[in-house]
Structure formats: C-alpha cells, structure tokens
Amino acid sequence: MPEVKAINIKDVKGEYREPARTSWILVSEKTVGAKNLAVGINETYVGSRVPEHKHDNEEEVMYFFQGTGKFVTKDKEIPIEPGVCIYNPPGEYHSIINTGNEPLKFIWIYSPQLESHRK
C-alpha cells in the first residue's frame, strides 16, 4: 500500500538546462512512486527562457511565485507575475520568457507525468 512521503527541495539535486534554468523534480514515479502526476519547481534565470515545446499527452499547470515574464503560445502572450496560474493543454506549443531582473520561479504539475519522470 502506498504511504505518505515528504520531500524537501534542499534534498533534491536540480537539473540544469540551457537556456539557463534549473528544475527540481519533487514528486514523480522515480522520487516517491507517484503513478499519475509529477510536481516540481523551475527557476528560469534572468534573461533566459524555457524554449518553445509541447507535450503531446500531458496536461501541465504552472503556478508562478517569483519574478516576471511572459507565457507565449501561438495565439497568446500572457503576462506572468507572482500569483498567476496557467493551464496548458496537451499538444499546445508554449514557451516561458523571464523579462524581469530576478529569477522567474514556478511550480509545475504534469498529468500524466512525462516519460523522463518514470522509473
């Protein structure tokens, strides 16, 4: 039977990527045995971005809690500031651009989780 688990970000090794950003995977099949979702934190550095991409089968939710930027799709540019929550459906190309003078930080949730989050 599954059990309750607690994860502290200071115990998780961040994954650095180019353009300059780091992601910490907190909840996934790999980390806690989750089967239906993944949760983590992204920190996109000043002047950087999450490049345009899409997820064919996964819904994604992002809750922004530090910094400013914009969330860009083929049809929209959504201003980002602390407190903004964005739902991105499967198959929708998107990118995230840090337009501010501090790191842009957000919580991300995928359902189902990406293949890279699985064992």
- Which residues neighbour 92 within 8 Å (Cβ) at sequence distance 6 or greater? 54, 73
Look at residue 3 and tell me if it is in a domain.
no
Tens digit of pLDDT for each residue in 54-69? Answer: 999 999 999 999 999 9
Which tens digit of pLDDT belongs to each residue from 78-109? 999 999 999 999 999 999 999 999 999 999 99
* Residue 34 counted as domain residue: yes
Domain that holds residue 83: 9-117
Q: State the residue for tokens 């200071």.
A: 10
Which CATH number covers residue 84?
2.60.120.10
Instruction: Note whether residue 2 is domain-resident.
Output: no
> Can you give the pTM of this predicted structure?
0.94
Q: Per the structure, how many domains does the chain have?
A: 1
DSSP string, 37-101: -EEEEEEEPTT-EEEEE--SS-EEEEEEEE--EEEE-SS-EEEE-TT-EEEE-TT--EEEEE-SS
Q: Is residue 1 part of a domain?
A: no
